[in-house]
Amino acid sequence: MLGDSVKQKLREIVGSQWFKDDKESLITHSYDSTPMLQSLPDGVIYPENTAQVSAILKLLNEHRIPVVSRGSGTNLCGGTVPVEGGIVMVMHRMNRILEVDLDNLTATVQPGLNTKQFSTHVEGLGLFYPPDPGSMAISTIGGNIAECSGGLRGLKYGTTKDYVIGLEAVLANGEIIRTGGKLMKDVAGYDLTKLLVGSEGTLAVVTEAILKLIPPPKTKKTMLAMYKDLYGAARTVSKIIENRIIPATLEFLDNPTIRVVDDFAKLGLPLDMDAILLIEQDGDSETVERDIARIAEICQSENAERVTIATDEAEALKLMTARRSAFTALARLRPTTILEDATVPRSKIAEMVLAINEIAARHNVTICTFGHAGDGNLHPTATTDARDKEEIHRVEEAFEEIFEAAIRLGGTITGEHGVGLVKAPYLEWKVGSAGIEVMRSIKMAFDPNNILNPGKMFAKSTRKRVVLGHA
């Protein structure tokens, strides 16, 4: 609980209107986009600048009060649920683009900046910031940095980590560090920049970021390929890469997802297909034309039933809608949608999808799978109902087996959504007990009093690994 004197000091730091502890504020900051998780904080604070963040952390560290920094809370791993109470620190007031440096192709921004707004701004300057998480219309750059967000362009362009080259961050004790800079190369000491990206608010609070921008591709082209045979679609993915083509986007939808999406968006998709690949290439026009033509040949050679290449931007947008609307469409089906994030080496996509389907059938749950096939990053998504405890239990058992299958295939428990609360019991499956120990010791080094987003990433106990009957 938060004593009155600490509350008073917090009000003094930010101004009384920027600290809230009324019931509505506490309830609205007790959850994020992850289903079935809620925990009330004791207060909500909105800092305006780095000095305030520093003063807040110094105070909370002295009093051992937990603090969860957050943006828009679009994460899907329970990453910003204040499970141990304390303070939720909302970064939305620190939302400015401080500079776009056209000589160095960098932008310096505050963490509360909206991703889409930033992306659009730099596009207006003739530049390109590739990370495009599904939540980008709502998410913040700070949230993207905390989770190392990916997106549909990850295959060719990488994820948030690849674009963060400098940070200002406040440590648990209130000290301010600066890492990297407007520098394409810097090996002065350990790479704290990359360590902080994806650290889910457990090591420091990011207050400023220097982002790398790149020249935008001159043109792009979009296509869909539809398959009656899942393996044909999976082989196409491998064969494109084997042919030394790295498309900007290479997405997959399975049959249940196709049906739901078509019902939602009325795209006239054929409902008897086992899989659809959405493929986009960008770059110079000659390259794009040649790559798309070669990809179409590969699709045909793997017995695609139908290959559609968009002839204009409107049609490309329509094809892209099939993929972009998957989550929204699935969310309409039942009260609770659980979107997961298993990732495997891309050569294992077909095996992974088959494993998911087998597991879902065995547990009698509905799981639709779509995702970034080119990255091996799949989003098996359960449509269920949180009120049905028995069904939820089956869903959880199924996901546990899905994580186990991903690990068995050389994959990981999360490709882009983060560990947070939801994956913490499974982290050891991926990194081993020695890996957990190293990570815990890093956490201790940064935050000895464990005030920064406590309860995340490290679970009190690790789940026992499932031994799958069919393996």
User: In the range 199-228, which residues lie near a second copy by CB under 8 A?
Assistant: 199, 203, 214-216
The conformational region for residue 371 under phi > 0 = left, psi -120 to 50 = alpha, else beta, is left
Taking residues 127 to 166 in sequence order and writing x for each that binds a second copy by CB under 8 A, - otherwise, the string is x-------------------xx-x---xx---x-xx----
Among 36, 361, 438, 471, which residue interacts with a second copy (rule: CB under 8 A)? 438
Among 178, 301, 317, 361, which residue interacts with a second copy (rule: CB under 8 A)? 178
DSSP character string of 274-299: SEEEEEEEEESHHHHHHHHHHHHHHH
C-alpha span between 171 and 206 (Å, rounded):
9
Among 376, 380, 454, 455, which residue interacts with a second copy (rule: CB under 8 A)? 376
Tokens 């078509």 belong to 262
Length of the chain: 471
323 binds a second copy (CB under 8 A): no
Interstrand relation of 97-101 and 87-90 (parallel, antiparallel or unpaired)? unpaired
Q: What angle do CA 330, 226, 224 make, to 5 degrees?
A: 80
Q: Which of residues 259-298 bind a second copy (CB under 8 A)?
A: 283-284, 286-287, 290
3-state SS class at 252:
strand
For the purposes of burial, counting CB atoms within 10 Å of the CB of 279, is it exposed (0-12), middle (13-18) or buried (19 or more)?
Answer: buried
Shortest reach from residue 3's CB to a second copy, in Å: 28
> Toward a second copy, which CB reaches closer, 6 or 146?
146
Interior/surface letters 353-381, b for 16+ CB within 10 angstroms, e for the rest: bebbbebbeebebbbbbbbbbbbbbbbbb
> Toward a second copy, which CB reaches closer, 98 or 438?
438
185 binds a second copy (CB under 8 A): yes
**CA distance from start to end of the chain:** 48
410 binds a second copy (CB under 8 A): yes
126 binds a second copy (CB under 8 A): yes
Q: What angle do CA 226, 409, 80 make, to 5 degrees?
A: 85
194 binds a second copy (CB under 8 A): yes
Q: Cα-flanking dihedrals φ and ψ of residue 294, to 5°?
A: -70, -40
Among 129, 227, 327, 446, which residue interacts with a second copy (rule: CB under 8 A)? 446
How much of the chain is helix, strand and coil, in % rounded to 5? 40, 20, 40
Return the range that interacts with a second copy (CB under 8 A); candidates 112-120, 359-367, 389-397, 407-415: 407-415
Among 39, 347, 357, 450, which residue interacts with a second copy (rule: CB under 8 A)? 347
- Contact (Cβ atoms closer than 8 angstroms) between residue 334 and residue 382: no
Among 23, 190, 460, 469, which residue interacts with a second copy (rule: CB under 8 A)? 190
> Toward a second copy, which CB reaches closer, 39 or 238?
238
Shortest reach from residue 432's CB to a second copy, in Å: 6
Return the range that interacts with a second copy (CB under 8 A); candidates 18-26, 107-115, 386-394, 424-432: 424-432
Shortest reach from residue 26's CB to a second copy, in Å: 29
Among 336, 383, 414, 453, which residue interacts with a second copy (rule: CB under 8 A)? 414
Shortest reach from residue 248's CB to a second copy, in Å: 14
